[in-house]
């Protein structure tokens, strides 16, 4: 059974990832892993990478941990916490890649303040990202994707680059979007300074 990572929630020091994974491999963080389908697929496809998932819903985090255990994903971990809080604890330039797939669009205007993608969140992503590393973003909600692109493109330290095909790996969210006939959009932004 995979050991749960039990953070003490104090600010983390540079070089802490080997304590989490037991190796020096590059680290990708998935924000909001949902059911863990993408986490499973990418951790199996990229065994020389470590994958750290951050899920704010306790039941989903538990389901993701069960998937990690069932498939013996030795390079994957999940933590139950708000992404904004986890990022605030990370040292600068400590993450090799971020994956954000199908974040909750919070459809009602009065709930838009709950959306994950904000100017402050993008700044935290950039702060914790290593130079030349990327933020991979996927959404099936056209206006939310456009808003996220505005925020990512507005950051002068990020530059849009071509996306990777594995970003559109089949997940339950991707299947639902396809069944509805919704377009799935993806982008990649690299930290350039």
Whether 15 maps to a domain, the answer reads no
Provide the pLDDT for residue 105. Answer: 61
> For residue 20, what are its two tokens?
């989490």
Whether 12 maps to a domain, the answer reads no
Question: Which residues does the annotation mark as catalytic?
Answer: 104
Tens digit of pLDDT for each residue in 100-112?
A: 998 876 455 654 5
What is the tally of structural domains in the chain?
1
Whole-angstrom CA distances from 181 to 42, 46, 92, 124 are: 25, 30, 40, 33
Residue 22, sorted as left (phi over 0), alpha (psi -120 to 50) or beta, turns out to be left
Whether 1 maps to a domain, the answer reads no
Tens digit of pLDDT for each residue in 22-62?
A: 999 999 999 999 999 999 999 999 999 999 999 999 999 99
Whether 125 maps to a domain, the answer reads yes
Provide the pLDDT for residue 111. Answer: 45
Whether 10 maps to a domain, the answer reads no
CATH number of residue 135's parent domain? 3.40.50.150
Whether 37 maps to a domain, the answer reads yes
Tens digit of pLDDT for each residue in 71-115?
A: 999 999 999 999 999 999 999 999 999 999 988 764 556 545 657
Whether 18 maps to a domain, the answer reads no
Provide the pLDDT for residue 84. Answer: 94
Tens digit of pLDDT for each residue in 146-176?
A: 999 999 999 999 999 998 766 566 677 777 8
Whether 35 maps to a domain, the answer reads yes
Q: What is the dihedral of CA 61, 170, 47, 17, to 10 degrees?
A: -40
Model confidence band, residue 183 (pLDDT cutoffs 50, 70, 90): confident
Domain of 141 in residue numbering reads as: 23-191
The pTM assigned to this predicted structure is 0.89
Question: Of 134, 52, 43, whose CA–CA distance to 87 is shortest?
Answer: 52
């Amino acid at each position: 059974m995979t050991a749960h990572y039990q953070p003490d929630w104090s600010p983390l020091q540079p070089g802490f990832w080997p304590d989490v994974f037991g190796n020096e491999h590059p680290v990708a963080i998935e924000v909001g892993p949902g059911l863990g389908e993408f986490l499973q697929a990418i951790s199996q496809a990229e065994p020389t990478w470590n994958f750290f998932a951050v899920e704010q819903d306790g039941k989903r985090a538990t389901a993701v941990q069960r998937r990690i255990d069932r498939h013996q994903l030795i390079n994957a971990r999940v933590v139950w916490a708000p992404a904004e809080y986890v990022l605030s604890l990370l040292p600068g330039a400590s993450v090799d890649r971020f994956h954000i797939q199908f974040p909750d669009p919070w459809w009602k205007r009065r709930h838009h303040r709950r959306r994950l993608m904000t100017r402050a969140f993008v700044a935290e992503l950039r702060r914790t990202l290593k130079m030349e590393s990327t933020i991979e973003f996927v959404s099936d909600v056209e206006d939310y994707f456009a808003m996220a692109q505005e925020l990512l493109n507005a950051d002068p330290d990020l530059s849009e680059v071509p996306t990777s095909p594995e970003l559109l790996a089949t997940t339950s969210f991707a299947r639902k979007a396809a069944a509805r006939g919704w377009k799935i959009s993806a982008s990649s932004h690299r930290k350039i300074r």
